[in-house]
Structure 1
Amino acid sequence: MTTGPTHRSPAAPPSPLASAHVEADGVPVAEPELAAALMSGYGHFTAMQVRGGRVKGLGLHLDRLDGATRELFGHPLPGERVRTLLAGALARAGRTDASARVYAYPGGGPGGGARILVTVAAPAPDGPGAPQRLRSVDYLRPAPHLKHLGAFGQSYHGEAARRAGFDEALLTSPAGEVAEGAVTNVAFWEGTRLVWPSAPCLVGITMALLLTRLPSVRRPVTLDGLSGFRAALVTNSRTIAPVAAVDQVRFPVDEELMERVHAAYRAVEGEPVAV
């Protein structure tokens, strides 16, 4: 009896730092392979707010991590493992409220799976964010459906926007089609529903939660059509904030809209981190 060839994903080339002697500020690094993974820029992450040991949309975060790990590394990432590592990090940091991130890097995990890093920091302030002024830039993230590392392009444009007096960069195509903010999703209010740009972008967890709880549609949005909207807002894991302007197009802050959006988000029940 004969069988066909077994398909195997091609192995990633070894990092040139994997067996190197690595120092940080003159001190040898205890785990050069970990340093190599961190410096590779190849990986992905998710960011969340923890309140009382619970996370809104935790299941969506776990699905994001698992899907990206399968796509980038060819291995699943069980949600139970992520929750155990996150719960442990929160406990050791002595926090039940926190800004937390879970990073996945290739290799080093159980059975050759992803290596997971967790960061725990002070929580973001609750409540509405300050109005944001956005500067449009001709730039789209590679593989935009992934919350991946190596975000030099969006960081470059975001910092340039801030130096120019704006709060955030708005990423657009060469034809002026709006995609997303450098670190946010953006939506525009037409009076009866939110319009989320349909250009390729990362569907953030906050965006995903609001899409199912507020009248919403995804369709193309262009810079030359922005003046037809009544208001705009941005979302990410840290804030939901009104948009005051995109370039020279100004938007009024619609307090009624923002209260409606925040009420919809507040109504989302957090899921417990602890397994």
Structure 2
Amino acid sequence: MVAAAPPYVEVDGRAVSPGVWGRLALLSHGHFTVMQVRGGGSRGLMLHLQRLDTAHRDLYGEPLDGDLVRARIRQALASFFHVTGAAYASRAPTSPLADAVPVDATVRVIATDPAGDGPGVLVVVVGPPTDAPPTPRRLMSVLYTRPFPRIKHLGTFGQLEHARAALRRGFDEALLTTSDGTITEGARTNIGFVAGDTVTWPDAPCLTGVTMALLEQGAGSMRAPVRLADLSRYDAAVMTNSRGLSPVAAIDDHHFAGSDFTGELARRYHAIPHDSI
């Protein structure tokens, strides 16, 4: 019997190692996290590591060593810093953190189990840093909820297609809702609703993002069901993801009046220290 040949893979017209990308090119199962690195550190680093470990145990029945993840990120950041030179050297006033690579970047960590019964593959992707857009965002509500919403998984086609549809219609993001108008999350974001000095995060099946979790630790934060029919009860809204937070100008044809408390939430977020990777 002739042994099966490994898959041949090209990326952007160039052949790559079949031992690595050969498997990954055929992969659609796994989980990930995305973080912003500034000066070699990231806000909520332990939450990112906990997310990866919890999802790995849930999907594959095995822990994912946080020290291993940190070491792989440091290695990738050092390589990125070497390749890009001063282009993305940290501009943070407190940079560099002790024992950290002095670089600003976006880091995506993907954990998979290609064989289904063996050691997984840990992928670290490093790119230029990004920040949340400061201009108010417009959201288009759609009837869709993510499968297995507690996990930040690779099967994101549905939500991303809704986000693309929202962009084509002149919006900035899709807002996912159930059949009765209950709001769950954005296609690529969490959303919080502000009334007075309280921010309400939808109590619905969703992915608890790291930025959302960090802000929930502050005063004036709660969870409760929120429906599209309830929007008039709120002064403002904010959406959050790995880039930070942005104010929400409108959902569909409902426009928010605005609130000073959104500025307070932004100040709280920016006051959170970066944890050295």
TM-score relative to the length of structure 1: 0.86
**Which runs of no fewer than 5 residues in structure 1 stay unpaired?**
1-16
Partners in 2 of 1:206 and 1:99 — Cα distance?
15
Partners in 1 of 2:79 and 2:184 — Cα distance?
38
Q: Residue 249 of structure 2 aligns with which residue?
A: 244
**2:183 partner amino acid:** V
Cα pair 1:129 1:239 within 8 Å, conserved: no
> Among the aligned pairs, what percent are the same residue?
45
Question: Which secondary structure state, in structure 1, belongs to the residue aligned with residue 206 of structure 2?
Answer: coil
Question: Which secondary structure state, in structure 2, belongs to the residue aligned with residue 46 of structure 1?
Answer: strand
**1:63 partner amino acid:** Q
Q: Residue 57 of structure 1 aligns with which residue?
A: 44
**2:234 partner amino acid:** F
- Correspondent of 1:147 among 143, 152, 158: 152
Aligned pairs for 1:1-275 within 5 A: 19-24=6-11, 28-31=15-18, 34-94=21-81, 96-107=103-114, 112-125=118-131, 129-254=134-259, 256-273=260-277
Cα pair 2:8 2:18 within 8 Å, conserved: no
* Residue 52 to residue 21, structure 1, CA distance change in 2 (3 Å): closer
Partners in 1 of 2:197 and 2:20 — Cα distance?
53
Q: Residue 99 of structure 2 aligns with which residue?
A: none
Partners in 1 of 2:114 and 2:230 — Cα distance?
46
Structure 1 runs (4+) deviating above 6 angstroms are: none
Give 1:73 shift: 1.6
**1:150 partner amino acid:** G
Cα pair 1:231 1:251 within 8 Å, conserved: yes
TM-score relative to the length of structure 2: 0.86
Partners in 2 of 1:61 and 1:25 — Cα distance?
31
Partners in 2 of 1:87 and 1:21 — Cα distance?
30
**2:147 partner amino acid:** P
* Residue 217 to residue 157, structure 1, CA distance change in 2 (3 Å): same
Question: Which secondary structure state, in structure 2, belongs to the residue aligned with residue 104 of structure 1?
Answer: strand
Partners in 1 of 2:114 and 2:219 — Cα distance?
40
Q: What root-mean-square deviation, in Å, do the aligned CA atoms of Structure 1 and Structure 2 show?
A: 2.0
Cα pair 2:236 2:262 within 8 Å, conserved: no
Cα pair 2:196 2:261 within 8 Å, conserved: no
* Residue 92 to residue 32, structure 1, CA distance change in 2 (3 Å): closer
Question: Which secondary structure state, in structure 1, belongs to the residue aligned with residue 179 of structure 2?
Answer: coil
Give 1:269 shift: 1.5
Question: Which secondary structure state, in structure 2, belongs to the residue aligned with residue 155 of structure 1?
Answer: helix
Give 1:263 shift: 1.4
Question: Which secondary structure state, in structure 2, belongs to the residue aligned with residue 41 of structure 1?
Answer: coil
**2:47 partner amino acid:** L
Q: Deviations over 1:118-145 (max 9, x none)?
A: 111111137x621000000000000000
**Which runs of no fewer than 5 residues in structure 2 stay unpaired?**
82-88, 90-102
**1:48 partner amino acid:** M
Partners in 1 of 2:5 and 2:128 — Cα distance?
33
